Amino acid sequence: MSHLFLIRHGQSEWNLQKRFTGWADVDLTAAGKLEACKAGELIKDLKIEISFYYSSYQIRALNTLKLILNTIRIKEDNIIKAWQLNERHYGELTGLKKDEMKKILGEEKIFKFRRSWDFPPGPLSRSNPYHPVNIKRYNDIPRDKIPDTESLKDTYNRVVKYFSENIKKNLDKNVLVVAHGNSIRALCKYLFDLDNQNILKLEIPTGNPLLITFDKNKNVKDAKYLDVSRAKDLIKF
């Protein structure tokens, strides 16, 4: 039996401001840092030895993982960073406030942008300062791999490919992944075999570890959120 912890980063500055964030590189709020520390305490209480630690490239995920590791007294040296675990790119919506865009485009269209399977927003101009090609943190990512916009399907394809090729082989041991709302939704779709309709309903809370238990054949045996008070009861498998 082995375990996989999936954790969405703690509350970010743009979560608080209700902006479309995507690949924009914004840090945690004070509340987000507390969520990360609480996640670390919940993991520490389980006394499960974790062998692999993965994070996206983005600072809100990296800092969440560093706070978790500090809480469970593990050095940061072993963090494996993967841009493929980054949040979904929100294209031309990046940086815009969700409530304002609902007034301009209508709630139905914004919901479709946020939750649909294969409906991406328009592309973000590569001259925009929020475009990943203009963010130093992403300088070592091949330019032809950096998107201008993404649907959830696009996100799913890159996240699941990375998971299948790099993380799945390590599931004979215990693994911790800190990523984002949509990259974790993509992994949940894959691991729980969710259809394109159920994935629309799936919400991932910030800073609440989702503990997935696997049997000896690496099949999902059980899944639960460690912070029961903030659990989302939408996991179906």
Residues belonging to the active site: 9, 87
Distance (Å, rounded) from C-alpha 138 to C-alpha 171?
Answer: 28
φ and ψ at residue 8, rounded to 5 degrees: -75, 140
Distance (Å, rounded) from C-alpha 123 to C-alpha 91?
Answer: 5
Distance (Å, rounded) from C-alpha 224 to C-alpha 195?
Answer: 20
Distance (Å, rounded) from C-alpha 22 to C-alpha 183?
Answer: 11
Distance (Å, rounded) from C-alpha 108 to C-alpha 111?
Answer: 5
**Which candidate, 6, 25, 21, places its Cα nearest to that of 136?**
25
Gyration radius of the chain's alpha carbons: 17
Q: Which two tokens stand for residue 21?
A: 């964030």
